[in-house]
Chains A and B, each alone.
Chain A
Amino acid sequence: MNNPMSSENRLHALDAVRGFALLLGVAFHASLSFMPGWPPGIWSMVDNSPSQFLSDAGFVSHIFRMSLFFFIAGFFGRLLYHKLGARGFWSNRAKRIVVPMIVGWVILLPTIFFVWNLGMTKMFGGTPPAPPTPPPGWFPLTHLWFLYELLLLYVAVIALRALVVSFDGAQKLRSLVDTLVANSIRMRIAVFTLGIPVAGALMTLPFWFYWQGIPTPDSSLIPQVPATVGFGTAFIFGWLVNRSGTALDAITRGWFVHLVLGIVATGWLLHTMHATPMAQPGLTKTLFALVFGVAVWGWVLGLTGAALRFLSNYSAVRRYIADASYWIYLAHLPVVAALAVWVGHWQLHWSVKYPFILVVSFAVLFLSYHFLVRPTFIGKLLNGRKYPLRKPAQPSVGQEPAAPPTVPSSDSGAPVASLRGIVKRYGKTTALAGIDIEVRRGELLAVLGPNGAGKSTAIALWLGLIEADAGQVTLLGGAPQDLARRRGLGVMMQDVELPKELKVRELVTLATSYYDDPMSVEETLRRAGIEQLANRSYGKLSGGQKRQAQFAVAICGRPRVLFLDEPTVGLDVQAREALWASVRRLLADGCSVVLTTHYLEEAEALANRITVITKGRVIATGTVDDMRALVSRRQISCETRLSPEEIRGWPGVVDAQRVQDRLQITATDAEGVVRQLLAADSALLKLDVRQAGLNEAFNELTKEAA
């Protein structure tokens, strides 16, 4: 399942990737007039300064940019479908995709013809030859083919989805596919297999000019096989990655390997293509097609992973560019083509003219976006909202942003850490049998339970030390195995000895090096109340001092969540009070704390909420008062000659025991029992009745569950 918080962070990264793919398209088209050896007519102009470099760069960007776009489009497609439902989805797509496609085509097509005509006239010195008769079925989709292809894929994939839903009622197939998708990325198989379908389609092409990669389906309404297979694979895989909760994590982790694979494969393609630009039937063609597939997916997964890794935060500039990219891509073609015509005969090197085209086009396109699109109904149509021109645009976090698909609203107030439906077994022993626990921001949750109840297992899951057999563990909005996320936690474990040779100050220094924005070592020592121990070796500390040093290590990174496993064992009263004060200060700073303890007074003193676990199940959760009220029993204590056995049989008595010379009675009806006591033993002494403390409440609860 997708976690809404973590997805939301990632959506910024994916939006950035899509914006990048679209803007790369502008740079690609701007380079086409410089292609060496292209005859007039393919592009609006043949420049007098051809460039092999731009040819290679264009090839490289063309390998992946559309697949990348369709991959992200598939991801967002499913997100949108599940957010808006079928009807909402189609109405949204009609506005964002169908209308821009039709209106854009009506306006762009004559403009493009006009620019082409200008170019041809210029190239042929006034009298261009008559254009060749188009083949039957020819339809100039122009660069808007990608919207047409996208619509076809929406229809196909949603139909396919309906089919799967109809027979896969138990979700067996779908969960299998989820596992397959995540594991194939994790094991780096996806990068090699996803390209196989498109390679198959490319191999069968009778005329394949290597440079073009997947031939652009821009001149017919009939879907073309290689493009449909190639972009369809990307779209469906994006859709499935959105389905599978863990695939994005795997992509994030694999960014470097994938990128390297993409680059290496691309290097080989360039090398091979330089030898023979046109595919000849044979081994090289097959190999080229297969390596091409690896290159496509190396780049797609690598770039997506790198963006997830490095761009997962909100940036106003990136947001603006991502919003602008859709308009820019729609409008750019006549602009760059006209500029190419304009500069085509200038006696300047391409290294001057190409940047010139880029700078002027982006300037024109961004200005047009800023003044004509962003504040107007066009912006609303394309990106779902318009921004007033006067006020500097500051989209608030989680607002519906731009470009074809949309981002769902944020899910605030979610827990900082949670266990949902967790089952964990060790061999035949079930440590946790389906527990749900939530830790909210700024609260202290005390986890109580007898030894072996499953407390430490729960903590180990949150720390990412073990994996659950079933259920979902989240820490700060995602999987706890993620290192970046773990930088938000601090931990003090049971049964851990720190290196005895190091001094306390050094231990804190070492722990500090793991965090990005830690407290200073002095501040940490002061907060933990152990400045005087700073220069003592850990091995020479007493048991209680060692716990204090471990506490300092736990808090040095300014954690958002702090896990304290039995923190005050062995501390004297003074040290314990100091530690409590320090915990309270962290809570006040907004840190959340998970505390396991045997000292119930500790829970009473610190906890906002208490969860009681026994035998791997949560048997009660609530505030300290809730817990006491849950067990509304009272303790009666007195000196009497009556025997416990006798009293246990009375109505309203839960338990009776002799403790030294006193009789301890736990009763639900204290008044009735006292009356009966006084009646039965007139010599009764030192009667004492009180509300059960947490200790008794806890004992009762665990006893009942046992």
Chain B
Amino acid sequence: MNALALKSVVAEASRGNALGAYFTETRFELMRMVRNPGVAIPVLAMPFALYALFALVIAGEAIDKDANLGVFLFFAFSLMAVTMPALFATGVTLALEREMGLLRLKRAQPAPPASWVVAKIVSGLVLAVLAYAPVLILALAAGKLALGAGQVAALSGALLVGTIPFCALGLMIGSLVKGTAASSYALLLYLPGCYLSGMFFPMPRSMDWQASIWPQFHVKEFAMHLAGITPHKEPLAIAIAIMLGYTVLFAGVTIWRLSRKG
């Protein structure tokens, strides 16, 4: 290749159309999610079904007497609704794609390096919204959530922000494990946290020491602060710092792992 032709290659190449690639990647990622409901449906249906069972059937009357219990239950299942898709839409699909060799191909193609990550995170967020909205609508319609509109808005925003560490956790699992094993590992890391963080039911005081290990705990504290719901178990700044810390840690492991293994 002569120098002139080479120059035109490099010149053309430097223009780039990265934004378009991000957009297209995200669009197709969402499309895949819609067309392959195997991952999406359980993740969407479970929090809603569980919330309906607990809030309406089992504890329906108790909530009418104690509004705080309604808020507590709503927290438990809305947190589940937003964090599960974040974890599964990113981690499990990444693990499957690594097994398919797709990630290797993307790295070889001139795909912008972060486009698939962005696509997965956006899909995770969209799925989180889709899972959260029915829980919220049900809670409001059934009158089981005694919060003001501002509080509900703040709470919803906080929950969505809270998905970010879980997206990072998903990516980390997906980068460490290949194939279908990823969903088992994701559950193994995720489910104990739901119980031990005190998200589903209050933990005895003797177990408090370990609650703050789990990201769920901090997302819950973060959301409670923003929605102005008391009592708090840790200051807002600490909750934010730890969420951020987990995100950096998980993302760091992912980047380290993918840059070595692909």
Q: Which residues of A contact B (CB under 8 A)?
A: 5, 8-9, 309-310, 312-314, 397-398, 410-416, 441, 463-465, 476-477, 483-489, 491, 493, 495-502, 506, 509-511, 513-517, 537, 557, 560, 563, 590, 592
The answer to whether B10 and A9 have CB atoms under 8 Å apart is yes
Q: Which residues of B contact A410 (CB under 8 A)?
A: 2-3
Shortest beta-carbon distance from B36 to chain A in Å: 5
Shortest beta-carbon distance from A372 to chain B in Å: 31
CB within 8 Å for A496 and B100 given contacts A397-B3, A501-B31? yes
The answer to whether B262 and A514 have CB atoms under 8 Å apart is no
Q: Which residues of B contact A500 (CB under 8 A)?
A: 36
The answer to whether A484 and B10 have CB atoms under 8 Å apart is yes
Shortest beta-carbon distance from A414 to chain B in Å: 7
The answer to whether A493 and B21 have CB atoms under 8 Å apart is no
Residue B42 at the A interface, CB < 8 A?
A: no
The answer to whether A488 and B9 have CB atoms under 8 Å apart is yes
The answer to whether A312 and B10 have CB atoms under 8 Å apart is yes
Specify the chain A residue showing the minimal Cβ separation from B14. A484
Specify the chain B residue showing the minimal Cβ separation from A396. B4
CB within 8 Å for A491 and B105 given contacts A516-B12, A517-B12? yes
Complex CA–CA separation, A498 to B12 (angstroms): 27
Q: Place the interface of chain B in its size category.
A: 35 or more
The answer to whether B28 and A464 have CB atoms under 8 Å apart is no
From B15, B31, B101, B108, contact of A506 by CB (8 A) = B31
The answer to whether B24 and A416 have CB atoms under 8 Å apart is no
The answer to whether A412 and B2 have CB atoms under 8 Å apart is yes
Interface class of chain A by DSSP: loop
Cross-chain pairs A/B with CB under 8 angstroms, 23 sampled: A8-B3, A312-B10, A312-B14, A313-B7, A313-B8, A313-B10, A398-B3, A411-B3, A441-B5, A464-B107, A464-B108, A476-B1, A487-B110, A489-B110, A491-B108, A502-B35, A510-B24, A511-B109, A513-B17, A513-B21, A514-B111, A514-B112, A517-B12
The answer to whether A501 and B100 have CB atoms under 8 Å apart is no
Q: How would residues 8 to 27 of chain B score, 1 for a CB under 8 Å from any chain A CB and 0 otherwise?
A: 11111111110011011100
From A488, A493, A495, A501, contact of B32 by CB (8 A) = A501
The answer to whether B11 and A312 have CB atoms under 8 Å apart is yes
Residue B113 at the A interface, CB < 8 A?
A: yes
The answer to whether B108 and A465 have CB atoms under 8 Å apart is yes
Q: Which residues of A contact B149 (CB under 8 A)?
A: none
Shortest beta-carbon distance from A325 to chain B in Å: 22
Residue B233 at the A interface, CB < 8 A?
A: no
Residue B57 at the A interface, CB < 8 A?
A: no
From B5, B7, B21, B36, contact of A514 by CB (8 A) = B21
Q: Which residues of B contact A483 (CB under 8 A)?
A: 16, 110, 112-113
Q: Which residues of A contact B8 (CB under 8 A)?
A: 313
Q: Which residues of A contact B113 (CB under 8 A)?
A: 483
Specify the chain B residue showing the minimal Cβ separation from A309. B14
The answer to whether A485 and B104 have CB atoms under 8 Å apart is no
Complex CA–CA separation, A312 to B6 (angstroms): 11
The answer to whether B13 and A484 have CB atoms under 8 Å apart is yes
Shortest beta-carbon distance from B1 to chain A in Å: 4
CB within 8 Å for A513 and B10 given contacts A465-B262, A506-B31? no
User: Known contacts A441-B2, A513-B21; can you find 8 more A-B pairs with CB under 8 A?
Assistant: A483-B113, A486-B110, A491-B108, A497-B102, A500-B36, A511-B109, A514-B109, A515-B17
What are the 3 A-B residue pairs with the smallest beta carbon separation, nearest first?
A313-B11, A496-B101, A497-B100
CB within 8 Å for A488 and B108 given contacts A501-B35, A514-B21? no
Shortest beta-carbon distance from B256 to chain A in Å: 15
The answer to whether A476 and B10 have CB atoms under 8 Å apart is yes
Specify the chain B residue showing the minimal Cβ separation from A311. B14
Specify the chain B residue showing the minimal Cβ separation from A492. B105
Complex CA–CA separation, A463 to B103 (angstroms): 13
The answer to whether B31 and A313 have CB atoms under 8 Å apart is no
| CB neighbors of A among B101-125 (8 A) | 101-102, 104-105, 107-113
